[in-house]
């Protein structure tokens, strides 16, 4: 599961090292990646919202 989150994190950035990607391809299932992506998006939204709250305080 941590692996899926890592893969999703790097995808938000848009890059992935070849060796690590090969590792992903072996270990990760699509379901895990999609779940991690949805959770990460939620975290991303909350983090941005927190940042916004911080600067508008």
Partner 1 sequence: MTAAAHAQDHAHHDDHAHHPTGIKRWLFTTNHKDIGTLYLWFSFTMFLMGGVMALLIRAELFQPGLQLVNPEFFNSLTTVHGLVMVFGAIMPAWVGFANWLIPMQIGAADMAFPRMNNWSFYLVVPAAILLVASFFVPGGAAASGWTLYPPLIIQQGISIDMTILAVHILGASSIMGSINIITTILNLRAPGMTLMKMPLFVWTWLITAYLLIAVMPVLAGAVTMLLTDRHFGTSFFNAAGGGDPTMFMHIFWFFGHPEVYIMILPAFGVVSAIIPAFARKPLFGYASMVYATASIAILSFIVWGHHMFTVGMPAAGNLFFMYATMLIAVPTGVKIFNWIATMWKGSMTFETPMLFSVGFLCLFTIGGFSGLVLAITPVDITLHNTYYVVAHFHYVLVSGALFAIFAGVYFWLPKWTGNMYNETLGKAHFWLSVIGFNIAFFPQHFLGLAGMPRRIPDYALQFAEWNMWSSVGAFIFGFSQLVFLYVVIECIRSGRKSEQLPWEGADTLEWTHLPTPAPYHTFETAPVVK
Footprint of partner 1 (CB under 8 A): 7-8, 10-16, 18, 21, 24-25, 30, 37-38, 41, 44-45, 48-49, 51-53, 55-56
Is 1 or 22 the residue whose CB approaches partner 1 more closely? 22
Whether 33 contacts 4, CB under 8 Å: yes
Q: What is the DSSP string of 14-49?
A: T---HHHHHHHHHH--HHHHHHHHHHHHHHHHHHHH
| Cβ at position 13, least distance to partner 1 in Å | 6
| Cβ at position 2, least distance to partner 1 in Å | 17
């Amino acid at each position: 599961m941590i692996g899926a989150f890592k893969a999703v994190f790097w995808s938000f950035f848009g890059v992935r090292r070849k060796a690590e990607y090969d590792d992903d391809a072996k270990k990760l299932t699509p379901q895990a990646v999609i779940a991690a992506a949805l959770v990460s998006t939620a975290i991303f939204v909350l983090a941005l919202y927190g940042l916004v709250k911080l600067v508008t305080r």
